[in-house]
């Protein structure tokens, strides 16, 4: 069945780069997504990548996709304290694209 | 772009009491609608989804039910709350296209005492 896995915690120093990793099992996903959840809030779509792309860059965010290994990563350059949040990876292959499968979320802590 | 409203924002209810959480969507028509629950420090659990008025699919057996009386209204209910129903409830919407993105509301924090 569909499954998305992420490491649960990541700590980095302010100004360093953060890399959040995700693996998924459903190869039929057209898009793969990264969402950000700040404390007490809903999920905010950060970025997404089309499944036939290897990389997408958007300002401080870089998404890398290794489709062969079903591995997705999110790199945040020059990490700031405002980047502290939970980051969810999601794939959209379930039920012909109607349902997303989310990973457990990676809690990013940015240390001063 | 669509906007998703949820209310109430927070709710404290005693065990055994009923529940009604509401989600409404603006800026889109005929969306897919979803209810998720997020336990403290945990990931998202899909509870229900709906592809149209009156059409509800349940992902997990539970104490809750959902209804969609109007195209852009999705309601989560319970007749008798359990302690284990505590959590953060998120409503989401998505267009019906295969490549449409899912967007989330601000959530309702429910505490059952």
Q: Per-residue pLDDT tens for A7-58?
A: 999 999 999 999 999 999 888 888 899 999 999 899 999 999 998 999 999 9
Q: CA–CA separation, A9 vs B57, rounded Å?
A: 33
Q: What are A58-100's pLDDT values in tens digits?
A: 999 999 999 999 999 999 999 999 999 999 999 987 777 788 8
Q: pLDDT at position A2, please?
A: 66
Q: What are B31-60's pLDDT values in tens digits?
A: 999 999 998 777 899 999 999 999 999 988
CB pair distance less than 8 Å for A104 and B32:
no
Cβ count near B80 (within 10 Å): 11
Task: Kindly give, in sequence order, each residue whose CB lies less than 8 Å from that of residue A82, ignoring residues fewer than 6 positions away.
Answer: none
Q: What are B60-84's pLDDT values in tens digits?
A: 877 899 999 999 999 999 999 999 9
Q: pLDDT at position B40, please?
A: 76
Q: CA–CA separation, A81 vs B57, rounded Å?
A: 40
CA triple A72-A12-A56, angle to 5 deg: 30
Parallel/antiparallel/unpaired status of strands A9-13 and A106-111:
parallel
Parallel/antiparallel/unpaired status of strands B3-7 and B102-104:
unpaired
Q: Which residues 80-99 in chain B show a CB within 8 A of chain A?
A: 90, 92, 94, 96-99
Q: pLDDT at position A67, please?
A: 92
Instruction: Compute the mean pLDDT over every residue in chain B, rounded to the nearest whole number.
Output: 93
Q: pLDDT at position B102, please?
A: 93
B1 Cβ under 8 Å from any chain A Cβ: no
Q: CA–CA separation, A31 vs A39, rounded Å?
A: 26
Q: pLDDT at position B8, please?
A: 97
Q: pLDDT at position A93, please?
A: 77
Q: Which residues of A touch B100 (CB under 8 A)?
A: 97
Task: Kindly give, in sequence order, each residue whose CB lies less than 8 Å from that of residue B23, ignoring residues fewer than 6 positions away.
Answer: B4, B5, B6, B33, B35, B73, B74, B75, B76, B91, B105
Nearest-Cα distance to chain B for A50, in Å, is: 9
Q: Which residues 30-69 in chain A show a CB within 8 A of chain B?
A: 30-31, 33, 35, 40-45, 48
């Amino acid at each position: 069945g569909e499954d998305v896995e992420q490491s649960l915690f990541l700590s980095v120093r302010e100004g360093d780069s953060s890399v959040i990793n995700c693996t998924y099992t459903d190869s039929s996903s057209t898009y793969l997504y990264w969402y950000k959840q700040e404390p007490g809030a809903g999920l905010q779509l950060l970025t997404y990548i089309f499944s036939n792309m290897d990389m997408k860059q958007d300002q401080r965010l870089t998404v890398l996709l290794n489709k062969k290994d079903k591995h997705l990563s999110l790199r945040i350059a020059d990490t700031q304290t405002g980047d502290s949040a939970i980051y969810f990876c999601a794939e959209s292959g379930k039920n012909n694209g109607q349902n997303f499968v989310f990973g457990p979320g990676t809690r990013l802590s940015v240390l001063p | 772009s669509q906007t998703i409203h949820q209310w109430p924002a927070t709710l404290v209810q005693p065990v055994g009491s009923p529940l009604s959480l509401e989600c409404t969507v603006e800026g889109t028509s005929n969306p897919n609608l979803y209810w998720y629950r997020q336990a403290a420090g945990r990931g998202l659990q899909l509870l229900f989804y709906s592809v149209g008025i009156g059409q509800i699919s349940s992902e997990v057996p539970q104490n809750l039910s959902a209804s969609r009386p109007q195209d852009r209204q999705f309601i989560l209910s319970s007749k008798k709350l359990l302690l284990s129903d505590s959590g953060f409830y998120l409503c989401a919407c998505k267009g019906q296209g295969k490549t449409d993105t899912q967007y989330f509301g601000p959530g309702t924090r429910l505490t059952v005492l």
